[in-house]
Amino acid sequence: MSFVWGDKNVEYLTKRYDALQKTTLFQGMKFSTNHEQIKQWAPLVMEGRDPNQKVAATWTPVGTDVNYGEITRQLIGSLKKKPEFLPANLF
């Protein structure tokens, strides 16, 4: 989850969300500027917050904006296709 407040930060998160939605890695991500919706995602963050404050948040059911596991799988999959890639058995 990402949470921001203030005009510039809300604008940034809106653009970030729009850009991330163009990739398959982030298709399940939700975006909101609605205080009540964000309160459902992060009640402690919204507790006592001025209802007139401009806020925005992104949320994903997997709990993170970045799916590092999927990114790693795709990166390794791409590297395996390269003849110069020498996998190491680290585990």
* Structural domains of the chain, count: 1
Distance CA 51, CA 18 (A): 25
The pLDDT value recorded for residue 40 is 96
Q: Is residue 51 part of a domain?
A: yes
Instruction: Give domain status of residue 79, yes or no.
Output: no
Residue 37 in domain: yes
pTM above 0.85, yes or no: no
pLDDT recorded at residue 72: 87
In a domain? residue 30:
yes
Domain that holds residue 40: 2-64
> Could you tell me if 57 and 31 are in contact, meaning their C-beta atoms sit under 8 angstroms apart?
yes
What are the tens digits of pLDDT across the range 11-32? 999 999 999 898 888 888 999 9
| pLDDT at position 12 | 96
Q: Quick check: is 44 in a domain?
A: yes
Residue 72 domain flag = no
Tens digit of each residue's pLDDT (9 = 90 or more) over 25-83: 888 899 999 999 999 999 999 999 999 999 999 998 876 666 678 888 888 888 888 88
Question: Beta strands 55-59 and 30-32: pairing type?
Answer: antiparallel
Question: Does the structure show a pLDDT above 70 at 91?
Answer: no
Interatomic CA distance for residues 69 and 12, integer angstroms: 25
What is the H or E stretch that residue 45 is in? Answer: helix 43-46
pLDDT band with cut points at 50, 70 and 90 for residue 89: low
CB-CB neighbours of 55 under 10 Å: 21
